[in-house]
Structure 1
Amino acid sequence: MTVSMLSRFLACAASAVLITGAVACAPPQKGDSGAKTESGVKAAEATSAADFGGMDGLVKAAKGEGELNVIALPPDWANYGAIIKAFSDKYGIKVNSAQPDASSQDEINAANQQKGRSSAPDVFDLGQSVALANTSMFAPYKVDKFDDIPAAYKDPNGTWVNDYGGYMSIGFDSAKVPPVANVNDLLKPEYKGKVALNGDPTQAGAAFSGVLMVALSQGGSADDIAPGVEFFRKLKAAGNFLPVDPTPATIESGQTPVVIDWNYTNSAETKKLPSWTVFVPPQHAVAGYYYQAVNKEAPHPAAARLWQEFLYSDEGQNLYAQGGVRPVRADTMQASGALDAAVAAALPVVDGPVTVPTPAQTNAASKYLSENWAAAIG
C-alpha cells in the first residue's frame, strides 16, 4: 500500500464453515455451468458482464439459475444480512447462506468437499492469508466498477478484489470487566477466563490480525509476529485466554466478556448490549481488507458474477458502509458524492500509525503461526 493510499484509508477506514456428513449426501449439481452466454463464452468462464451481452444479459442468466450460495457471512458482519436481502429482493434470486459463523479456511474446505454439487459455495469472502494461498480456486472476473478500485486492492486480472476493511479492536462488556486501556491489561487477574479471540489465526483473518495487533503492542511488527504468539502463551498460562469462538450469542450471554475482533463486528454488538465498548489501540492499530472472489467451480456462475456486480455497485458499497466498514470504492464514491455522507462521517478515524501487512508479510506470518500457534495455546 502506498503512503497516499494509506492516508486515504486512515481518512475513511472503519474502525466462517464446519462441513459435516451432509457433504456426502448433498444433491448433485443442478445448474449448467457450461451454459453459453450471448457472446458464446461459457458462463463459468465469463470475465465481465460484456460476455453476457451487458448487465441485462447477466441479470437474465442469473435469474435463470435462480439461486446463489454464499458461505461464512454472519448477518451482523459488515451488514451482510441487509446486503443479502437487498440482492435477493432486487433480482428475485434465492440466496442460500451456509454456516454464517465459519472461518475463511472453512470456506475453502467446503468448496473442495462439495465440488460438483449444487450446494457448493458460489463465492468467497476471505481473509488475506487464506485468499492468497488459494487463488487457483478463483475465477477471474472484472466488475463494471473495476477501474474505480485502487490497484493495491485488486488482482490486475480480477482474480480477487478487496471489498471492505476495518481496524482490529478489543470489545469488552464494561458491566462485567474493568475498562481495557491497553493490550497488557488483558494479562491482569481481573480478566481471568474472559479473553476470547475470534477464531484460529491459522484459519481466520480476524484472528490473524488480532495476533498481529497484539504483536505490535509487544514490540513486534508485520515482519515479526512472534511476540504476539508469546503474549497469547502468557495469556493462556495466566488462565485468562478463553478458547471459545465468540458470536453475538456468547457476547450477549456474558460467556465472552472480552473479544479481540474487527471494530465493525464489535461495534455491531453495541446496538444490542449498551455496556459493550469498543477499543482500537491507537498506537498499535492494524487495518485490513477482506478478499472477494468467484469460485471457479461455482454451481451458479452467472449469479456469482451478478453478486460481485452488486457488491461493488454504489448500492452495495453503501450497504457495506452502513455496517461500519470502509468499502473499497469509498474514495471515488466520496469524491463523486455517491457515498452516503452521514454514514461516511460516522466511520471512525485512528490518529497514529496504522499497520497493513503486505502479502509477503502475511505469508511469512502465516507460516510462523502454522508452526507455533498450537503449541502456544495448547
Structure 2
Amino acid sequence: MIRSPHRSRRVLVTAAVGAVVALGAAGCVSSGGSSSSASGGNAWATATSAQAGGGTDALVAAAKAEGTLNVIALPPDWANYGNIIKGFSDKYGIKVDSANPDGSSQDEINAVKQLGTQDRAPDVLDLGQSFALGNVDLYAPYKVATFDSIPAANKDANGAWVNDYGGYISIGCNSTLVPVCPTSFADLAKPEYAGKVALNGDPTQAASAFASVWAGALANGGSLDDITPGVTFWGSVAKSGNLLKVDPNSATIQSGQTPIVLDWDYLNVAETEKNKASFDWKVAVPTDGLFAQYYAQAINKNAPHPAAARLWQEFLYSDEGQNLWLAGKARPIRLEAMTAGGTADKALLAALPPVSGEARFPTQAQTDAANKVVAQNWATATS
C-alpha cells in the first residue's frame, strides 16, 4: 500500500526541486552480532574508505567475520528494501537484523542516541534529509568507491551523509473512473475533478502531502522561499469540492474511493503494477510544479558492526544496489551517471515517468520556514 504507516518517518524531511529539475532519475530492537561495543578498537570503525581500511577484499572479510548488520526503519515494501536486504545478505552471507521497519527518522536518531555502543544499536541509517543534516555529529564519514559519481549537492564533502534514492511528486489517476487524467496542478482545479483529488496525508504531518503543497506553490508563482501560494492553491481546491478528505491507500485506490492521488512517483508507479489487471492507474509528474525528495544514508559512528556497515554502503551505491532501488520504482542517486555509462537497467528506467532538467534544493532554513507556514495556515485555508 501507499506508505501511510510511515508518515511519521516522512514528516517534514523533504528536499525540494523546483522549476525544471532532474532527479538522477523497522518491532523492538533486535540483538546484534559479534562485534559488541568493541568496535571502538576495530580499525574499520574509523576507516573513511575501503582503500583506507586495507582494500575491498579486506572489508568483505572483516564484514563476514562480524556476521551481522543492524538496520532500522526499512519497510520491506518501500523502494524495494526487502529485496535489497536479501540481496546483500545472500551475496555476503551476512545476517541482517531489521529493527522497527515501520519507524521514523526520529526513531532512528533516538535509537542511535539511546543505545550508544550496545550491540543492538543501528549500524546504518536511512534518513529524511533534514534529519540527516541535523545530526551529522552522530555519523562516521565514509566515501564509497563510487563517491565521485554522486553529485556534489547530494553528499557531505567528507561522506558523513550521502543521498541514496528519491522520487518526484506525481499525480496517479484511475483512467477507468476519470476519462481525462490530470497532468498538471492547473488541471487539478478543474470542475471535472470534483470529489476526486486526494493528498497522501495531512501536510502538517506527512512529508509527501507537504511536498504536494510546495509543488503547488511552484506551479502558482511560489518558490523555495515562498510556499504560501501552495497553501492558497490547495485551499481553493478544497473549497471548490475537488479535494477529498480521505487518506489514500491501496484499498481506497482499488475501490475507486480515491481516483486521483498525489504522492511520490515510485509509490504511484507501484500502484500501476498492483492494479494493472483491474484498471489502468496512470502516473504523471506535473509539468508545472516539479518537486522531489531524496533520502540519505549514514553510518552510525558507534556502529557495532563497522565493517558490515561500510560494506552495506558499498553495496547500496554500486550499480547492483542502485538498480535494486530502480526496481522499486525509485530514482537512485547515481542514475544520471549510470545512464551515461550504460549500467542502468534500461527496462526499469523505461518504467519511470519521464523527467528532465536541472535539480535545485532548498536550504534547511527554507524548509523550516515552509514547514511553519503550512503548520500555521493549512487548517484555515482548507476548512
Give TM class, smaller chain: 0.7 to 0.9
Determine the structure 2 residue equivalent to 1:331: 336
Is the CA contact 1:193–1:242 (under 8 Å) kept in the aligned structure 2? no
Q: Following TM superposition, by how much is the alpha carbon of 1:137 offset from its aligned partner in structure 2, in angstroms?
A: 2.5
Specify whether residues 193 and 343 from structure 1 end up closer, same or farther in structure 2 by C-alpha distance, changes over 3 A only: closer
Determine the structure 2 residue equivalent to 1:224: 226
Specify whether residues 151 and 105 from structure 1 end up closer, same or farther in structure 2 by C-alpha distance, changes over 3 A only: same
Q: Which amino acid aligns with 1:161?
A: V
The answer to which structure, 1 or 2, has the higher relative contact order (CA under 8 A, 6+ apart) is: 2
CA distance in 1, matches of 2:202, 2:131: 12
CA distance in 1, matches of 2:342, 2:252: 39
CA distance in 1, matches of 2:233, 2:382: 10
Specify whether residues 111 and 264 from structure 1 end up closer, same or farther in structure 2 by C-alpha distance, changes over 3 A only: same
Determine the structure 2 residue equivalent to 1:312: 317
Classify the secondary structure of the residue corresponding to 1:48: coil
1:205-224: CA deviation from partner (whole Å, max 9, x where unpaired): 43442221122233321111
Alignment of 1:124-139 (within 5 A): 124-139=125-140
Gaps of 5+ in 1: none
Classify the secondary structure of the residue corresponding to 1:303: helix
Confirm or deny that 1:196 pairs with 2:199: yes
CA distance in 1, matches of 2:36, 2:157: 28
Q: Which amino acid aligns with 1:132?
A: L
- Identity level (%): 55
CA distance in 2, matches of 1:185, 1:301: 50
CA distance in 1, matches of 2:256, 2:136: 39
CA distance in 1, matches of 2:375, 2:114: 22
Q: Following TM superposition, by how much is the alpha carbon of 1:29 offset from its aligned partner in structure 2, in angstroms?
A: 8.4
Classify the secondary structure of the residue corresponding to 2:69: strand
Classify the secondary structure of the residue corresponding to 2:275: coil
Moved more, 90-99 or 188-197: 188-197
Determine the structure 1 residue equivalent to 2:293: 288
Determine the structure 2 residue equivalent to 1:87: 88
Q: CA RMSD in A?
A: 3.7
CA distance in 2, matches of 1:242, 1:299: 45
Q: Following TM superposition, by how much is the alpha carbon of 1:352 offset from its aligned partner in structure 2, in angstroms?
A: 7.3
Specify whether residues 232 and 283 from structure 1 end up closer, same or farther in structure 2 by C-alpha distance, changes over 3 A only: closer
TM-score by length of 1: 0.78
Q: Which amino acid aligns with 1:225?
A: I
Moved more, 178-187 or 47-56: 178-187
Is the CA contact 1:170–1:279 (under 8 Å) kept in the aligned structure 2? yes
CA distance in 2, matches of 1:32, 1:176: 56
1:174-221: CA deviation from partner (whole Å, max 9, x where unpaired): 345563344356566955486132x56566543442221122233321
Is the CA contact 2:199–2:209 (under 8 Å) kept in the aligned structure 1? no
Determine the structure 2 residue equivalent to 1:155: 156
Q: Following TM superposition, by how much is the alpha carbon of 1:301 offset from its aligned partner in structure 2, in angstroms?
A: 2.5
Is the CA contact 1:232–1:241 (under 8 Å) kept in the aligned structure 2? no
Q: Following TM superposition, by how much is the alpha carbon of 1:376 offset from its aligned partner in structure 2, in angstroms?
A: 6.2
1:25-66: CA deviation from partner (whole Å, max 9, x where unpaired): x669864243367xx63x333322234322222222222332
Is the CA contact 2:71–2:124 (under 8 Å) kept in the aligned structure 1? yes
CA distance in 1, matches of 2:244, 2:103: 21
Alignment of 1:1-378 (within 5 A): 10=22, 13-14=24-25, 22=28, 31-35=35-39, 41=43, 43-176=44-177, 179-183=181-185, 186=188, 192=195, 195-197=198-200, 201=203, 205-233=207-235, 240-242=243-245, 244=247, 246-248=248-250, 251-252=253-254, 256-274=258-276, 275=279, 276-350=281-355, 356-369=361-374, 372=377
Is the CA contact 1:270–1:277 (under 8 Å) kept in the aligned structure 2? yes
CA distance in 2, matches of 1:33, 1:249: 45
Q: Following TM superposition, by how much is the alpha carbon of 1:239 offset from its aligned partner in structure 2, in angstroms?
A: 8.7
Q: Which amino acid aligns with 2:36?
A: D
Q: Which amino acid aligns with 1:32?
A: S
1:268-288: CA deviation from partner (whole Å, max 9, x where unpaired): 111111232212111111133
Specify whether residues 239 and 347 from structure 1 end up closer, same or farther in structure 2 by C-alpha distance, changes over 3 A only: closer
Moved more, 319-328 or 354-363: 354-363
Is the CA contact 2:123–2:303 (under 8 Å) kept in the aligned structure 1? yes
Specify whether residues 321 and 285 from structure 1 end up closer, same or farther in structure 2 by C-alpha distance, changes over 3 A only: same
Specify whether residues 250 and 87 from structure 1 end up closer, same or farther in structure 2 by C-alpha distance, changes over 3 A only: farther
CA distance in 1, matches of 2:47, 2:96: 21
CA distance in 2, matches of 1:97, 1:28: 10
Q: Which amino acid aligns with 2:227?
A: I
Gaps of 5+ in 2: 1-16
CA distance in 2, matches of 1:348, 1:338: 19
Q: Following TM superposition, by how much is the alpha carbon of 1:161 offset from its aligned partner in structure 2, in angstroms?
A: 0.8
Q: Which amino acid aligns with 1:196?
A: L
Is the CA contact 1:27–1:117 (under 8 Å) kept in the aligned structure 2? no
TM-score by length of 2: 0.78
Is the CA contact 1:285–1:353 (under 8 Å) kept in the aligned structure 2? no
Q: Which amino acid aligns with 1:312?
A: Y
Q: Following TM superposition, by how much is the alpha carbon of 1:306 offset from its aligned partner in structure 2, in angstroms?
A: 1.1
CA distance in 1, matches of 2:38, 2:128: 30
CA distance in 1, matches of 2:192, 2:347: 41
Is the CA contact 1:70–1:95 (under 8 Å) kept in the aligned structure 2? yes
Q: Following TM superposition, by how much is the alpha carbon of 1:143 offset from its aligned partner in structure 2, in angstroms?
A: 0.8
Is the CA contact 2:166–2:330 (under 8 Å) kept in the aligned structure 1? yes
CA distance in 2, matches of 1:61, 1:377: 55
Q: Which amino acid aligns with 2:83?
A: A
Q: Which amino acid aligns with 2:214?
A: L
CA distance in 2, matches of 1:329, 1:337: 12
